[in-house]
Amino acid sequence: MKHNMEIQLDKIKVKKLNEYEQHELWQTIVNQLPAKKHQSILFSLFFKPRVMLGIFIALMLTLGGTATVQAANSSAPGDILFPLDRTIENLRLKIASDTKKEELKVKFSQERIDEINHIITEIETDGNMTIDQSVKVTSTSTVSATSSDFIDERLQNALGVALHFINQTKLDLEASGNSEAMTQINQLLDDLGNDLQNLSSEAKYKLKLESNDDKLRFEIKSKEKGEEKVELRLRSDEEKNRLQIKSREDKFELELETDDDSVQTTSSVSSVARGLTEAEVKIYTASSSMVKVEFNNQSSSFMLASSDRETIIAAIMSKYNVTRQAVEAVLKIEIMSNTSTSGSTSSTSSQGSGGQSNNSNDDNVNTNRQNGSVFIQSIEAEVRQNKTRVRVKYQGQNDQEFNLAVLSRSELVSALAIKYHLPELVIEGLLKFEVSE
Amino acid sequence: MDSQSKNYIAELIQLCAQGDTFAFRKLYEQLDQKIFSFLISRVPERADAMDILQDVFVDVWQALRKFTYKSDKQFYAFVFVITKRKVAKFYAGRDITVEFSEQHMSDMYSSPDFEIYTMSKLVNKLKKKYQDVIRLRYWSELSFAEIADYLDINESAAKVRHHRALKQLEILAQKYET
């Protein structure tokens, strides 16, 4: 016979990696493997990467920046010498004084951009050749060709590195208040934006770079619709920057977020008008509904103290400054009946939720479910020793009582939100929480 | 992995040591879902699990150059140790708790359910070695033979440990409920 716990545990079904995630992960892993595949056998026989790096650095330090450094310096992301390029830069930064440091950083930002230009020229001159080649290389390792088809992988890499670097520099400069350097950086970004736009006439895709005070955005728009989704995420542990390429139908979006101003990012976007793409309203009680809106590719949600259609439309209109038609075109309204789910959960649940029997008011639930008007009136929770006693009061129905193993208010809110399929904000509003010693 | 030839893993490992990324891809495909599911039970966000998984495989790749293959079991156990070390590193010096929310549940599980929430809370209270066996069994959905490989114990020991873990869980469940 199966153990009772086993039955419970068998319900766990992890959402596994989908094909796309698997692919993306593999790509990131391969990119991080130290010995790259295009390294020749002869080369790897004589030089282990680490040994090689050591030799170059030793050379650089003794000769003080001659041919070797020059060679490394002209390497772009994806080249074997690129890591060395960065290492040397870091060394120079470490040695430099504070003011010198900022100058250097601007200079290195320029280099990053030059590298991109270098790759762009390569793509332009080789035309489709480069793209075909990269497809060939990756397909031997059974990597699907969609992303390389869409944009040359090296360019993608280089842009990633460059934007990450520049944004880092920008933040540093902002912190130190060096306005002259800031202007230079912004100038560089503008230049890069222009370069990318010039490329667009040749290629299958259109590139655009935008920079605001607090974020960088890089956009790749495909001229053909229905491209596959590509997402690139870069994360460095210390700084928690996140670089993302998102795609929505015919549009790509690359976003760089840092922890401190991720909030600003969301708000600053709304000024760039690209419109309302989604508005989903879930009505939970007569006086509370949750509105989920996607505006300019940013989704956000808020609570409204009304369930009236007109009021909801008006609220969205005023909040996002859009027309009535725009709202109505995408508006979806759903009436949530939480009673039905609570009933079924408590009857199957093993964590003792069935303080009260549900049978007596089954009829009641059914009739009410149809018009969706039975709602939880309030929830009282009291913490005693190791458990929390929860009492749920329904409108026109018997109360329900059960115990939970959660102890903190926030956890309880989450637990109840999952149990009743209600947003946490709604639960917060209903909950009375008490701790008794 | 049972259907593969006896030396399949050994051959792949050897190729990887010579720098064959294609062979490494094959190894990755053998393990990624299982390790990922294990990580899902340990971290707050799906993205965290992906990040750690990535770190694990980069480490495995580097370690394979010096790895002396003895048995498949030894290899799986080796990867699992790396995985656990990465999770420990993820939590080291940081105050992170897995906050259960609707978002968390639907990101991580295909059937987000209140029971899963309660169960994972209980599992977190188990002894470490019991936690591992439960996570491998129910999150990663491994057979006892596989669990034995990952934990570097024999199969009957894995079954016994699993049984004891269930008992402990039951005791915990009674303690925290009703």
Q: List, as ranges, residues 139-168 from B with C-beta within 8 Å of A.
A: 139-141, 166
ipTM: 0.85
Comparing A235 with B111, the larger pLDDT belongs to: B111
Asked whether A232 and A156 are in contact (CB, 8 A), the reply is yes
B22·A345 Cβ contact <8 A = no
First and final C-alpha spacing in chain A: 42
Task: Compute the residue count for chain A.
Answer: 437
Percentage of residues in chain A with pLDDT exceeding 90?
0
**Residue in the structure block whose two tokens are 């600053």:** A268
Q: How far is B73 from chain A (nearest CA, A)?
A: 24
The answer to whether A282 faces chain B, any CB pair under 8 Å, is no
B122 lies within 8 A of chain A by CB: yes
Asked whether the predicted pLDDT for residue B86 surpasses 60, the reply is yes
The answer to whether the CB of B123 falls within 8 A of the CB of B172 is no
pLDDT category, B111, cuts 50, 70, 90? confident
C-beta separation of B136 from B66 below 8 A: no
- The 10 Å CB-count burial string (b at 16+, else e) for B71-108 is ebbebbbbbbebbbebbeebeeeeeeebebbbebbebb
Coil vs helix vs strand at A184: helix
3-state secondary structure of A214: coil
B114 closest CB neighbour out of A345, A386, A403: A345
pTM recorded for the entire structure: 0.40
> CB neighbours (10 Å) of residue A134?
21
Range with top average pLDDT, A24-38, A191-205, A268-282: A24-38
Q: Residue A32 — pLDDT band, cuts 50, 70, 90?
A: confident
Compute CA distances A251 → A21, A132, A268, whole Å: 19, 22, 19
Torsion angle, alpha carbons of A158, A164, A169, A172, to 10: -170
End-to-end Cα, chain B, rounded Å: 43
Alpha carbon B109 to chain centroid, angstroms: 16
Is there a contact between B89 and B43 (Cβ–Cβ < 8 Å)?
no
Mean pLDDT score, A90-107: 70
pLDDT, position B107 = 83
Q: Which of B60, B124, B122 is CA-nearest to residue B86?
A: B60
Interchain CB contact of A18 with B (< 8 Å): no
Q: Which residues of B touch A29 (CB under 8 A)?
A: 28, 54, 57-58, 61
Q: Which of A110-114, A346-350, A390-394 has the lowest mean pLDDT?
A: A346-350
Query: Under a CB-based contact definition with an 8 Å cutoff, are residues A202 and A128 in contact?
Result: no
Question: In this predicted model, which residue has the larger pLDDT, B111 or A49?
Answer: B111
Strands A376-384 and A288-295: unpaired
3-state secondary structure of B174: helix
Q: Per-residue confidence at B167, pLDDT binned at 50, 70, 90?
A: very high
d(CA A200, nearest CA chain B) in Å: 33
Average pLDDT over residues A78-83: 58
Among A4, A140, A418, select the one facing B102 at the smallest CB separation: A418
**Is A32 in Cβ contact with B21 (below 8 Å)?**
no
CB contacts, 8 Å: A423 with chain B: 102
pLDDT at B142: 92
Structural domains of chain B sorted by starting position, each given as residue range(s) with its CATH number in brackets: 8-176 (1.10.1740.10)
A262 touches chain B (CB under 8 A): no
Of residues B57, B114, B173, nearest to A418 (C-beta): B114
Extract the runs of DSSP E, i.e. beta strands, from A189-263: 205-211, 216-222, 234-235, 242-248, 251-257
Under the banding of pLDDT at 50, 70 and 90, the label for residue B115 is confident
Half-sphere exposure of B81 (CA within 13 A, CB side): 10
3-state secondary structure of A361: helix
Select the highest-mean-pLDDT range: A322-326, B3-7, B16-20: B16-20
Phi, psi of A378 (to 5 degrees): -160, 160
Q: Does residue B168 carry a pLDDT above 80?
A: yes
- Write out the E strands in A90-228: 205-211, 216-222
Please say if the pLDDT value at position A111 is more than 70.
yes
Residues of A in contact with B33 (CB under 8 A): 16-17
pLDDT tens per residue across span A370-426: 334 456 777 888 877 777 888 888 776 778 787 777 667 777 887 777 777 777 777
DSSP A13-78: -B-PPPHHHHHHHHHHHHHH-SS-TTS-HHHHHH--HHHHHHHHHHHHHHHTS-HHHHHHHT--BT
The pLDDT score that the predictor gives to residue A129 is: 38
- Cβ-based contacts under 8 A for chains A and B: 137
User: What is the H or E stretch that residue A175 is in?
Assistant: helix A153-176
pLDDT score of A287 more than 90: no
pLDDT of residue A114: 75
Chain segment A197-234, per-residue pLDDT in tens = 655 444 444 455 554 444 445 444 544 444 433 333 33
Under DSSP, is residue A167 helix (H, G, I), strand (E, B) or coil? helix
The owner of tokens 């997402």 is: A231
Backbone angles phi, psi at B67, to 5 degrees: -80, 130
Interior CA angle at A129 toward A126 and A134, to 5°?
A: 115
B40 touching A (Cβ < 8 Å): yes
